[in-house]
Structure 1
C-alpha cells in the first residue's frame, strides 16, 4: 500500500536558506525540501568538456579556456569592453556591455580564463557576449562539470547557481535517506511500463550523466522522463476525476421536457439539422433528463451551428418548467444571440430577455424582477448575469458561449445561482475554437465532450492568401472590384496593444484612408467603443447590404453572419494566434459564393509567424489548425490565459507526450479501481492547491 508523503522537510533545514530565500521560493509554490526536487529543469547545457576555440561554430554553447591577449574599451553606439582570448587553436572576443572598473582590473593580458557562453558571429571574429567566466591558475588543471548543467525556471533574485546549490543539497539528503519520497505508483504499473524508481528518475533529471545526448534530454523519450511525465499526467487525470465525482454527487433538476417546443422550432426552420447537430442534441437531451448535473463541452468549428443546438437545449429546460441562461463574452455576441434566439423562440411563446451591464435604472429593475418571478424563461447576457443582485426563479440550465474567454470564478458564480433548494443547474459550455484531443483530454477530463464535426451544406471553403503590406494598393483595388460586383467585404484592424482606445483609433484612421481611396463605396466602422445601439445599427446595415465595406477591430471575431460577405482583409495577422485568425476568417464563406481572406502582414516575419500564416493558407479545418496552434503556442495560449492553471505542467508536454495521455486516462481508472489509496497522495504531489481551476 503506497504511503502518504511524510511531513514536509522545511526549507530552512538546508544550510544557507534564510527568510528572504524562503520568500522568493514561495513565489514558485516551493515550501519544502521535497518541493525543490519537483521543481524540474527547463533545459540543459553541456559543460562537461573543454572545446578548442578553433573548432567553435556560431550557435555553439561551449566551455573554453584560454589566455587574455588584448583588452580594450570600444566606443560606439554602445560602449563595450572587448577581451581577446586565445588557446593555440584559435582566438575569439569576449564582449561585455555592462562592466565595472574591478572587472577591467581583473581582465588583463596574460590572465587565464575558463568561460561558458553562446558563440555568435562578431564584426571581426566569433565572440561571446557576457560569458560566465572565472580566472584559473596557469598550469593548474581545473575539473569540468561531471553532469550536464540544468537550467531551472526561476524568479527574481534566484540565480541558476543558487538553484544548482539547492538541488545538490536536496539530492544529497535523498541519497543519504534523510529525505523520504514514497512511491505512489504501484509496483505492477512500474514494471509494466519499465519505469525507474522515483528517486532514480529525479536524480537523472536533475543531474543527467555527461554521456546523455542533449537532443535526447530536450526532446526525447527516456525512462526517467517517462516515469515523471506519466506520473504527472496521471495526477492531473485523477484530480479531474475527483472534481467530476464531486460534481456528479450533486443534485440537478431532471429536465425531461415533452418535446413540444423543440418540435415547433424544428418545424419552423427553412433547413434541416446536420447529422452532427442531431447527434449532439440527443446527447444533451439525455443529460438534461437526469437528476445529476450535466457538464458538457460542445466543440464545433466556425459556422457548424452550435447556437441552434443551444436553443434546443434551452427549449427542453423551458418545457420542463425551468429557466435557462446564456452567457456570452462580448456584448456584440450576446446581442447577436438575443436577435437569433428571439427570432426562433419568440413565435413559440417563449419569453426571452437580455441583460448587459449597460442596462440601468427602471429598465434594469424591470428585467431583474421578470427574471426573479420566472416571467422571463431565457435570459441572454454578458458577465452582467452573475452580478449579485441577479436572482432566478428556477435556473435549470446555464449555457456559456466561447467558454475559454471567461475566468473559472465567473462561470462558477453563474453556476451557483441555482434554485436554492440544494440543486445546481445543468451546464453546457460551447466553443468555436476546436480543442486538440490531447488538450481536451487533459484540461477538460471533468467534462463530457461533444463535437459538431460537420458543416451545413452550401458552405464554401475560404481561399486564403498572405501578402506583404507593400502590396496594400493592390489589395485596396481588389476590395473595390469585389464590392462593385455586388459583394461585401470586411477590413479587420488588429493591434498588439491591449488598449481598446488605440485599436479604435487605428480602425478609425483606416476607415478614413479607405473612404478617401474608395469614394464610390459605402463604408462602415465598428469598434469596441461604440454604443451597443450604434454597433447594432452598423452591423444591421452591413447585413442588409446597405454598406459595401465594414472596417472593424477584432470585435467581429464571433457572432456576425452575413452570407453576402465574400472577402476579408486582416491587417497584421502575424500578431494574432491561429485560433483567432480562423475565427475571423469564419465570418466569410457563409454563402455559396467563392470567398477569399487576404492576410496583409508587415515584413519581415519571424519564423513562428511565417509558420502560422502558412497553416492558414494550407487548411480551413479548425481541428487541424487547433493542433498546429497547440504545437506553435502551447496549451496556456490555446486555452486562454485564465485557463492555464488547468494545464500548468512541470515536465509533461501535451504536444510531445500526446501518446501518453490516453495511457494516463486508463491508468487513472485502474488506480481508482485497484489502488484507490494512491490517488490523493499523487494529486497532492503534482497538482497541490490548483484544484480550484476545475471547480466548474
Structure 2
C-alpha cells in the first residue's frame, strides 16, 4: 500500500542500488532519507559537459571540459607548495594546479595516461591552467572521443563533506526511472494550474535538461518545469503558515471587552487627536482582543505614523480586564524610551510600569521578577531579557513586540510560552516601522493578520534629502554650525559595511574627534553599541534635553529614538546601507515644527547602482514605495533580515522572481486545507522541513 505521498516517499535510500550504510549517513546530512527526498534535491546551476574543448581554444574565464595526455607531474616549491600536472593534446598544453594533494595523487598521474578535466580556465605562468578541476582518468574503453560525454546539461547539487557531484548524479540517474512506475508520487496540482507539466515530467526535466534547453531561462529559474516546482513549493509554504495559524488559534485566550473607561482616560490626557489611520487600526485590534482566541496581528506604519500610541491604547482593554501586558524592544535605547513614554502615560492613571533589561541586576532584578510573577506588575517593558526562563508572568494577556524583523520565530514562541503557563495564550501585537512589500509579508508573516496605519500625524514635517560627495564635508560642517546657531540639533550617523560593533565604534570616534576639532564651541556627543547601557541612556537623555548639540552615532539609533528638536541628519557612506534602513534613519528627524534635512554623504566614485539607490531615497518619502524598490534591488534576505528569511528558505522558489505565483498559491493552499487533508500532508512532507514546535508560535 502506498503512502499519501506515493511509494517513493517511504522507499529508504538503502534500497537504491549502490547505497550502503556509510553513504546513507552522508545523504542523511543533506536531509535525504528516502528516494523522494533525493528527487527533491533540486539543482540551481547547470554545466555543459557535452563537448570537449581543445587546449588551443581555451580562453581565461571559461568553464569547460577538456581532455589530454599526461606529460609530467611534479611538485613546485614556490610561495605555496603545489602539484603541477602538464597535459598535451594536438592543439597545445594545459596545466593542472593542486594546492591540497597527497604523494599518491602525484604518482597517479603517470606519463602517457589520458585524463578528462572540468573546471574554470585561468592564465598561468605556462599558459592556460585549471586549479583543482574535476578529473576523470580514462581507460581504453572510455578513451573514445564520445565516451562519457553527456546528452543533457549537467546539474550542480548542494553537497556535504565526502559526497561528490559525480556520486549524486549516479544516484539520481538510478532514481529517475522510478518515476515511471504507478503511484511513485502523488501529483497535487491539476495540470491546468501547472502549465500542463506533471510533477514527474518537471522533475525529469530539471535533473536532466536537454542540451537544446533555453539556458538563460533555466539559469534564471524561469523554465516552465522549474516554475511548476516553484508553485508547488509556495503552496506548501503557505500551507505551513496556515497550519501554524490554525494551531495558534486552538489555544484559549483572554477575551478582553473594553469597558472604555481606561481608554477614555488615556485619550483625555493626550495633547493630540488620533489620526484616521490610527483609529482604523485600533478598531481592528479591539475586535481581535474581544475574541476568546489569540490575536495575531502585524501593524505596519511608516516612520512617525504613531504606532507607539496605538500599542498603548491596545494595552488598555487588556489591563482593564486584569491581565498583564509585556512590551518588548530590540535595543536597550528603544526599550528605555518605551519605558519613559509608557510611564508618562500610565502612571498618572495608577498603573506602574515595570522594566526588565540586561542592565537590571541583583536585588533590583529579583524585585522586578517577583513583581511580575505575583501579578503586581501589570505592565512591563524590556528587551530580550523578557525571554529568559527566570521571567514568569502571573496572567500575561498581551505581548507587544516592536520591530519584529529584529526577532526570530523562536523568540515569539518564548513569550507565548510564558502565557501558556497560566492556561491561555496571550494576544500578540507585532509592530514594525519597516514597511514590508505585500508579497514578502505573505511569505514571512502569512500566519498574521496585517494592519497598516495610513497617513502621518498632523505637524510631521517633510524631510528634504540632499545627496553630497564626501569632498563637500567642510561645507557641510559649516552648515551644521549655522544650523545649531538657530537652536536646532543634529545627528551624524557613521555606517560601515562590516557587521562589527568595534569597527563601527572606531569610525564614530574618528568622526566625533573631527567635529570637535572643527566645531570646538559646540557640545558633541558620541553613542555606539559598545558603550554600557547606562552610558547610552545618559547620552540620549542629554541629547533629548538639548545639552548635546551634535550626536555622533552608529546605526544604534536606527529605530524609535524621538528628539523633536533634531532637524538635520548626516549619514556617512549611505551607499553601504539598504534603502529601508536609510529611510528608518532619516525618520529620526522631521518630528518637530522646524524644516528638516537629511544629507547623504557618499564616497566617490559612486557606482551607477549606488547613484540609482540614493536617487530613489531622494525622490520618495513613502516607506512602502522605498521597500518595494529595496526588494527589487537587494532581494528578500537583505530586506527582511536573516532571522526572518532563515524561516523561509526555498529549494526552487524565489520570492522576488515568483511574486506572481504567491496569490494563486495562497488560494490553492486554503482550498487544500479546507477540502483535502491527504494532499495537504503530501505537500508538507515533500517540501516543508518545519520544526513541530514552530506550530505554536
Same fold (TM > 0.5): yes
What displacement does 1:54 show? Answer: 7.6
Distance 1:361 1:74, change over 3 A: closer
Q: Corresponding residue for 2:29?
A: 27
Q: Corresponding residue for 1:226?
A: 227
Tell me, in whole angstroms, the C-alpha distance in 2 between the residues paired with 1:359 and 1:619. Answer: 41
Q: 675-684 or 658-667, which moves further after superposition?
A: 675-684
Where structure 1 has 5 or more consecutive residues not aligned to the other structure, the ranges are none
Q: Answer yes or no: is the 8 Å Cα contact 1:195–1:224 preserved in 2.
A: no
Tell me, in whole angstroms, the C-alpha distance in 2 between the residues paired with 1:51 and 1:545. Answer: 72
Distance 1:366 1:644, change over 3 A: same
What displacement does 1:335 show? Answer: 0.5
Q: Answer yes or no: is the 8 Å Cα contact 2:70–2:85 preserved in 1.
A: no
1:9 aligns with 2:14: no
Q: Corresponding residue for 1:621?
A: 622
Q: 2:157 aligns with which of 147, 152, 155?
A: 152
Q: Corresponding residue for 1:433?
A: 434
Alignment partner of 1:416: what SS?
A: helix
Q: 75-84 or 470-479, which moves further after superposition?
A: 75-84
Distance 1:271 1:52, change over 3 A: farther
What displacement does 1:241 show? Answer: 1.2
Q: Corresponding residue for 1:297?
A: 298
Q: 558-567 or 78-87, which moves further after superposition?
A: 78-87
1:168 aligns with 2:173: yes
Distance 1:14 1:347, change over 3 A: same
Q: 103-112 or 50-59, which moves further after superposition?
A: 103-112
Distance 1:108 1:23, change over 3 A: closer
Alignment partner of 2:684: what SS?
A: helix
1:366 aligns with 2:370: no
Tell me, in whole angstroms, the C-alpha distance in 2 between the residues paired with 1:193 and 1:692. Answer: 32
Deviations 1:535-584 (A, max 9, x none): 22211221222211111122211111122323323334454444333322
Q: Answer yes or no: is the 8 Å Cα contact 1:468–1:601 preserved in 2.
A: yes
Q: Answer yes or no: is the 8 Å Cα contact 1:351–1:375 preserved in 2.
A: no
Aligned residue runs from structure 1 range 399-410, under 5 A: 399-410=400-411
Aligned residue runs from structure 1 range 46-445, under 5 A: 46-50=48-52, 60-64=62-66, 96=97, 98=99, 114-118=116-120, 130-132=132-134, 140-143=144-147, 144-175=149-180, 181-185=184-188, 189-418=190-419, 420-445=421-446
Tell me, in whole angstroms, the C-alpha distance in 2 between the residues paired with 1:384 and 1:357. Answer: 6
Aligned residue runs from structure 1 range 27-46, under 5 A: 27-46=29-48
What displacement does 1:632 show? Answer: 4.1
Alignment partner of 1:324: what SS?
A: strand
Q: Answer yes or no: is the 8 Å Cα contact 1:2–1:678 preserved in 2.
A: no
Tell me, in whole angstroms, the C-alpha distance in 1 between the residues paired with 2:220 and 2:653. Answer: 11
Distance 1:142 1:25, change over 3 A: same
CA RMSD of aligned residues (A): 3.5
Alignment partner of 1:388: what SS?
A: coil
Alignment partner of 2:24: what SS?
A: helix
Aligned residue runs from structure 1 range 665-680, under 5 A: 665-680=666-681
Distance 1:115 1:610, change over 3 A: farther
How many aligned positions are there? 690
Deviations 1:179-208 (A, max 9, x none): x6321415xx22344332222111111111
Distance 1:351 1:192, change over 3 A: same
Aligned residue runs from structure 1 range 492-571, under 5 A: 492-571=493-572
Tell me, in whole angstroms, the C-alpha distance in 2 between the residues paired with 1:29 and 1:508. Answer: 47
Deviations 1:34-85 (A, max 9, x none): 2111111111122234557787776544445678999999998778859697
Where structure 2 has 5 or more consecutive residues not aligned to the other structure, the ranges are none
Tell me, in whole angstroms, the C-alpha distance in 2 between the residues paired with 1:60 and 1:33. Answer: 35
What displacement does 1:341 show? Answer: 1.6
Alignment partner of 2:659: what SS?
A: coil
Q: 72-81 or 611-620, which moves further after superposition?
A: 72-81
Tell me, in whole angstroms, the C-alpha distance in 2 between the residues paired with 1:82 and 1:480. Answer: 67
Alignment partner of 2:300: what SS?
A: strand
What displacement does 1:525 show? Answer: 1.2
What displacement does 1:684 show? Answer: 1.3
What displacement does 1:611 show? Answer: 6.2
Tell me, in whole angstroms, the C-alpha distance in 2 between the residues paired with 1:29 and 1:609. Answer: 40
Alignment partner of 1:650: what SS?
A: coil
Distance 1:409 1:134, change over 3 A: closer
Distance 1:168 1:464, change over 3 A: farther
Q: Answer yes or no: is the 8 Å Cα contact 2:466–2:618 preserved in 1.
A: yes
Q: 653-662 or 550-559, which moves further after superposition?
A: 550-559
Tell me, in whole angstroms, the C-alpha distance in 2 between the residues paired with 1:568 and 1:552. Answer: 11
Q: 93-102 or 214-223, which moves further after superposition?
A: 93-102
Tell me, in whole angstroms, the C-alpha distance in 2 between the residues paired with 1:466 and 1:84. Answer: 56
Alignment partner of 1:441: what SS?
A: helix
Distance 1:607 1:111, change over 3 A: farther
- Scaled by the length of structure 1, the TM-score of the pair is 0.88
Q: 272-281 or 167-176, which moves further after superposition?
A: 167-176
